[in-house]
Structure 1
Amino acid sequence: MLGIVLCSAFAYEMSMVIIFKLSFLVSCIKSY
């Protein structure tokens, strides 16, 4: 049970990092 919670929390953190990187990339493209 604890492993599932840790895996889901890790996947959530990774998805937030990916979303942050995508938004940063979009803002960089819009600035050009």
Structure 2
Amino acid sequence: MGDLILFTVTLSTALDLVIVRAKVHINGTFKFNR
């Protein structure tokens, strides 16, 4: 049970990092285009 919780937390953290990186990349692209 603990492993499942740890896996879920790790997965959600990884997804958060990916989303943040995507937002930063999109913002940087928009600023660069302007």
- TM bucket normalised to smaller: over 0.9
Deviation at 1:3, TM superposition (A): 0.2
TM-score by length of 2: 0.88
Q: Which 5+ residue runs of structure 1 have no aligned equivalent?
A: none
Bigger Rg, which one? 2
Runs of 4+ with >2 A deviation: none
State the aligned residue count: 32
RMSD: 0.5
Verify: 1:21 aligned to 2:22, yes or no.
Answer: yes
Q: Percent identity?
A: 12
Q: Which runs of 5+ in 2 are unaligned?
A: none
